[in-house]
């Protein structure tokens, strides 16, 4: 692709970096991993990116056959961006990268997190052993977006979609839910303070929020955490 840097290296990993190694590229892919998004949706989820850079990255990813443009069906009829089937194959790569990076001695907990990033983190950190014997579906309403999380036989599926038939429902801001799941904030405290809303089987929600332990940090050989 014209204008992009090339490594002049025959390794497929080098070519992967030529395709998705530019700043913001992987985060754009992350935001498209759960379905099509409008340009304004991407800007909202990635507040640090400028419109010009977002346009440039989307054009590059489209030329690389990773991103495709489309239109939502009526009555919306708005232009959206989505991942190609091949682009969507990056999900397991992103989950592995996310789990690896969570072990970094300098990984900064508590920073802002997007809705898609939170959902993908659940897919990444899910602990089958902790889910043993647990079954049921929870509706997640995160920043207005609906998802259904179902636990069966030690497995977890989380997909966009209506939550009406779920046994419980958890609603709130992505960062507040992350504070409960990853930051140690008690669920009861978040509910009593009005920061999160739970309906239905609260015990199921409590169990759900404990299914995602962060991995142990790698040794801080450089002493950067001191």
Please state, in angstroms and rounded to a whole number, the distance separating the CA atoms of residues 216 and 15: 31
Query: Cis before residue 151, ω within 30 degrees of 0?
Result: no
Q: Tens digits of per-residue pLDDT, 113-158?
A: 999 999 999 999 999 999 999 999 999 999 999 999 999 988 999 9
CB burial of residue 17 (10 Å; 0-12, 13-18, 19+): middle
Report the alpha-carbon distance of residue 30 to residue 19 in Å, rounded: 15
Q: Are the C-beta atoms of 121 and 85 separated by less than 8 Å?
A: no
What structural domains does the chain harbor? 12-89 (1.10.10.10), 110-209 (3.30.1050.10)
Residue 182 to residues 56, 100, 113, 124: CA-CA distances in angstroms? 34, 16, 12, 13
E-assigned strands of 136-204? Answer: 136-142, 145-152, 155-160, 168-172, 196-200
pLDDT of residue 1: 52
Per-residue pLDDT tens, the chain, 226 aa: give them: 555 678 889 999 999 999 999 999 999 999 999 999 999 999 999 999 999 999 999 999 999 999 999 988 877 778 999 999 999 999 999 999 999 999 999 999 889 999 999 999 999 999 999 999 999 999 999 999 999 999 998 899 999 987 778 999 999 999 999 999 999 999 999 999 999 999 999 999 999 999 999 999 999 999 865 5
* pTM across the whole model: 0.91
Sign of CA dihedral 155, 107, 194, 145: negative
């Amino acid at each position: 692709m014209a204008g992009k840097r090339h490594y002049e290296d025959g390794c497929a990993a080098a070519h992967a970096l030529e395709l998705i190694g530019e700043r913001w590229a992987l985060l754009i892919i992350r935001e498209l991993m759960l379905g099509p998004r409008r340009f304004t949706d991407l800007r909202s989820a990635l507040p640090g990116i400028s419109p010009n850079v977002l346009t440039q990255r989307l054009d590059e990813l489209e030329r690389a056959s990773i991103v495709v443009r489309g239109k939502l069906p009526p009555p919306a009829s708005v232009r959206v961006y989505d991942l190609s089937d091949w682009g969507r194959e990056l999900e397991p790569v992103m989950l592995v990268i996310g789990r690896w990076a969570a072990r970094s001695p300098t990984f900064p907990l508590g920073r802002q997190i997007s809705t898609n990033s939170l959902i993908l983190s659940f897919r990444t950190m899910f602990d089958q052993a902790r889910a043993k014997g647990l079954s049921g579906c929870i509706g997640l309403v995160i920043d207005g977006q609906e998802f259904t999380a179902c636990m069966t036989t030690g497995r977890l599926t989380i997909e966009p979609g209506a939550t009406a038939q779920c046994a419980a429902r958890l609603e709130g801001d992505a960062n507040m839910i992350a504070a409960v799941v990853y930051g140690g904030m008690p669920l009861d405290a978040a509910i009593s303070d009005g920061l999160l809303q739970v309906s239905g089987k609260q015990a199921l929600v409590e169990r759900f929020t404990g299914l995602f332990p962060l991995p142990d940090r790698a040794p801080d050989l450089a002493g950067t955490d001191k």
